[in-house]
């Protein structure tokens, strides 16, 4: 197999090499679009399956809405339109004729869903409405990178409608907590959570909550967001209801989502010099069995042992790599790039000693296991250990690369060095945030308004009294 680029010297090329060699995706004929190959799509299916369960546990039902949005419908919410207009793809012709009204390919679905809510909501008894859809989205990005930023991507988007702000706040917070737990349990991913600054919130939202992960190159990556949309969309799309006293009211909306960007997040957070490392909870293949043999007789005995062990591990996602045309060394490298959590090697010497060789992907630790130890329970415990190990490594990396800057110079030095998250007092002014972003190339990922943390402190750039603590980082 070709060698991966050096992760420390050329992280962007290493990232592309991992995608190609792990057989996750390839570029499509349309610039900025990708083809999800089976292994890459299987990872998304694992995410989707678990997250769909969590979404339904919040009392949310799945639905599906159209891909196309009439221009007149999109134009009703001015801030929303302004925020997404540069990224919109527009259909002007259909059936060989120019359309009387342009159709926008959905960059997100608030407009089309809330237009439906206007028809569905009449009374307080109709609330709350909690819907989610699994869909594709199109945003015309100028700079693209597979999974992290593409013209078309896959996601889930939740859209809820509530009688009160308190209920909408609770829903937005519940979605954020769901994402944080999902990140931890499935992706072995520690994240920073909090509120986006006003200038970084979702277009048309009252406020935006976010989960932020840290890649191994020191850059932040937004893993998921949750928005309280306030009553702006209710007013724009004329959604109203009669409360228990018979008075007309505007409901409060939320929206929240994660996308196939999580596959990219998985790569940049857990990947190492050998390639991808997939947490066992998420891995399409949790254990790969690699037979080692030279003669036909050895092949027969070793493959029989592999099949017997595979059958005994039916509760685990196991694959026997019985390709004759590939050497054991090639297979070892290939499955390491693919990030399979555990590799089990079985050869004639192993059979003679009544053992197998077990290799962990998270630490590369190798040990001999007696065949009697090779039970489903033993391997499940090992997989749990690998899952915990990946989380612990990522958590340690996050802690070691999270700082607090006492001055603007220190912030710039941190960002220009190994990167990472840098906390600093912020005066709340857009001009200050923009100056730091332009000069230090660091954006505010989230803010902390805890009064005890900002009392008496001043912005590191302007010197004005701080209104919050801001978490700065370079970002994808």
**6 in a domain, yes or no?**
no
How much is the pLDDT for 82? 77
Calpha distance 223→206 (Å, rounded): 20
Structural domain boundaries enclosing 467: 402-473
Calpha distance 225→203 (Å, rounded): 12
Q: Are 229 and 138 contained in the same domain?
A: yes
- The pTM (predicted TM-score) of the whole model is 0.95
**367 in a domain, yes or no?**
yes
Q: Are 147 and 253 contained in the same domain?
A: yes
In three state form, how does the secondary structure of 446-470 look? EEECCHHHHCCCECCCCCCECCEEE
Q: Are 33 and 154 contained in the same domain?
A: yes
Cα 361 to Cα 378, 390, 410, distances in angstroms: 17, 10, 37
Over residues 50-82, the pLDDT tens digits come to: 999 999 999 999 999 999 999 998 888 777 767
Q: Are 84 and 22 contained in the same domain?
A: yes
Calpha distance 459→377 (Å, rounded): 55
Cα 139 to Cα 47, 105, 144, 274, 434, distances in angstroms: 22, 8, 11, 33, 24
Calpha distance 185→178 (Å, rounded): 10
Q: Are 84 and 114 contained in the same domain?
A: yes
Q: The domain spanning residue 295 has which CATH number?
A: 3.40.50.800
3 state SS of 397 = helix
- What is the distance of C-alpha 287 from the center of its chain? 24
Calpha distance 157→84 (Å, rounded): 16
Calpha distance 216→394 (Å, rounded): 9
b/e per residue, 111-142, with b = 16+ CB within 10 A? bbbbbbbeeebeebeebbbbbbbebebbbbbe
Calpha distance 313→311 (Å, rounded): 5
| Residue 432 structure tokens | 């200050």
Q: Are 134 and 163 contained in the same domain?
A: yes
Domain edge (last residue) among 354, 385, 416? 385
Which single residue is written with the structure tokens 């599906």?
64
3 state SS of 251 = coil
3 state SS of 297 = helix
Q: Name which of 370, 375, 384 is nearest 308 in CA terms.
A: 375
Q: Name which of 82, 83, 77 is nearest 201 in CA terms.
A: 83
Strand order in the sheet with 355-360: 318-320, 287-291, 342-346, 355-360, 366-370
Over residues 150-191, the pLDDT tens digits come to: 999 999 999 999 999 999 999 999 999 999 999 999 999 999
The structural domain count of the chain equals: 3
Instruction: Quickly count: other Cβ atoms within 10 Å of residue 271's Cβ.
Output: 23
Are residues 403 and 421 in contact, defined by beta-carbon separation less than 8 angstroms? yes
DSSP H helices, 121-221, are 165-187
Instruction: Quickly count: other Cβ atoms within 10 Å of residue 9's Cβ.
Output: 8
**282 in a domain, yes or no?**
no
Q: The domain spanning residue 424 has which CATH number?
A: 3.30.110.30
Q: Are 262 and 297 contained in the same domain?
A: no
How much is the pLDDT for 83? 74
Q: Are 328 and 255 contained in the same domain?
A: no
How much is the pLDDT for 43? 98
E-strand ranges in 338-398 read 342-346, 355-360, 366-370
Rounded to 5 degrees, what are φ and ψ at 62? -85, 145
How much is the pLDDT for 64? 98
3 state SS of 462 = coil
Q: Are 250 and 298 contained in the same domain?
A: no
Q: The domain spanning residue 130 has which CATH number?
A: 3.30.930.10
How much is the pLDDT for 230? 97
Determine if residue 305 is left, alpha or beta; phi over 0 gives left, psi from -120 to 50 gives alpha, anything else beta. Answer: alpha
| Residue 387 structure tokens | 């899952």
Calpha distance 375→378 (Å, rounded): 5
Which single residue is written with the structure tokens 């505007």?
250
**361-366 CB contacts, 8 Å cutoff, 24+ apart:** 361/277, 361/278, 361/336, 361/386, 362/277, 362/386, 362/389, 362/390, 362/393, 363/389, 364/274
How much is the pLDDT for 84? 76
Report residues of the chain scoring pLDDT below 50: none
Q: Name which of 462, 415, 459, 422 is nearest 441 in CA terms.
A: 415
Are residues 136 and 109 in contact, defined by beta-carbon separation less than 8 angstroms? no
**275 in a domain, yes or no?**
no
**391 in a domain, yes or no?**
no
Calpha distance 246→121 (Å, rounded): 14
Q: Are 244 and 322 contained in the same domain?
A: no
Helix (H), strand (E) at residue 289: strand 287-291
**Strands 468-473 and 443-448: what pairing?**
antiparallel
**298 in a domain, yes or no?**
yes
Domain edge (last residue) among 385, 410, 432? 385
Calpha distance 146→33 (Å, rounded): 8
Are residues 454 and 425 in contact, defined by beta-carbon separation less than 8 angstroms? yes
Q: Are 430 and 309 contained in the same domain?
A: no
Omega before 128 within 30 of 0, i.e. cis: yes
Interior CA angle at 398 toward 393 and 402, to 5°?
155
Q: Are 125 and 251 contained in the same domain?
A: yes
**393 in a domain, yes or no?**
no
**160 in a domain, yes or no?**
yes
């Amino acid at each position: 197999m070709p060698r991966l680029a050096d992760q420390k010297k050329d992280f962007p090329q290493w990232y592309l090499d991992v995608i190609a060699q792990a057989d996750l995706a390839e570029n499509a004929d349309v610039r900025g679009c990708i083809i999800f190959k089976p292994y890459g799509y299987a990872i998304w299916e694992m995410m989707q399956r678990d997250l769909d369960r969590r979404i339904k546990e919040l009392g949310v039902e799945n639905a599906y809405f159209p891909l196309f949005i009439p221009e007149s419908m999109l134009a009703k919410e001015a801030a929303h339109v302004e925020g997404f207009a540069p990224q919109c793809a527009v259909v002007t012709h259909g059936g060989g004729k120019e359309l009387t009204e342009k159709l926008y390919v959905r960059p997100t679905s608030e407009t089309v869903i809330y237009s439906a809510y206007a028809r569905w909501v009449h009374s307080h008894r109709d609330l709350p409405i909690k819907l989610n859809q699994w869909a594709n989205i199109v945003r015309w990005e100028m700079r693209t990178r597979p999974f992290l930023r593409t013209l078309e991507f896959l996601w889930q988007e939740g859209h809820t409608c509530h009688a009160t702000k308190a209920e909408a706040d609770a829903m937005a917070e519940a979605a954020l907590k769901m994402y944080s737990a999902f990140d931890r349990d499935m992706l072995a991913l520690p994240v920073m959570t909090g509120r986006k600054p006003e200038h970084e919130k979702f277009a048309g939202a009252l406020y935006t909550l976010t989960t932020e992960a840290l890649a191994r190159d020191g850059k932040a990556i937004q893993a998921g967001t949750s928005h309280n949309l306030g009553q702006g969309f209710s007013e724009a799309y004329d959604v109203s209801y009669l409360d228990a006293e018979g008075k007309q009211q505007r409901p409060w909306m939320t929206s929240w989502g994660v996308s196939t960007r999580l596959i990219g997040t998985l790569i940049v957070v857990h990947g190492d010099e050998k390639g991808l490392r997939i947490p066992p909870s998420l891995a399409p293949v949790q254990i790969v069995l690699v037979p080692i043999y030279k003669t036909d007789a050895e092949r027969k005995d070793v493959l029989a042992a592999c099949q017997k062990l595979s059958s005994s591990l039916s509760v685990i996602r196991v694959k026997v790599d019985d390709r004759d045309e590939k050497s054991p060394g090639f297979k070892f490298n290939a499955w390491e790039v693919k990030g399979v959590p555990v590799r089990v090697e079985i050869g004639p010497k192993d059979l003679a000693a009544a053992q197998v060789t077990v290799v962990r992907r998270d630490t590369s630790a190798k040990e001999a296991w007696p065949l009697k130890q090779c039970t489903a329970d033993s391997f499940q415990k090992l997989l749990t250990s690998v899952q915990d190990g990946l989380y612990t490594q990522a958590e340690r990396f996050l802690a070691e690369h999270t700082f607090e800057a006492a001055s603007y110079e220190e912030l710039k030095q941190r960002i220009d060095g190994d990167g990472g998250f840098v906390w600093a007092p912020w005066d709340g002014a857009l001009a200050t945030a923009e100056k730091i972003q332009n000069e230090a190339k660091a954006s505010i990922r989230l803010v902390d308004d805890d009064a005890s943390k900002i009392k008496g402190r001043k912005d590191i750039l302007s010197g004005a009294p701080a209104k919050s603590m801001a978490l700065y980082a370079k970002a994808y």
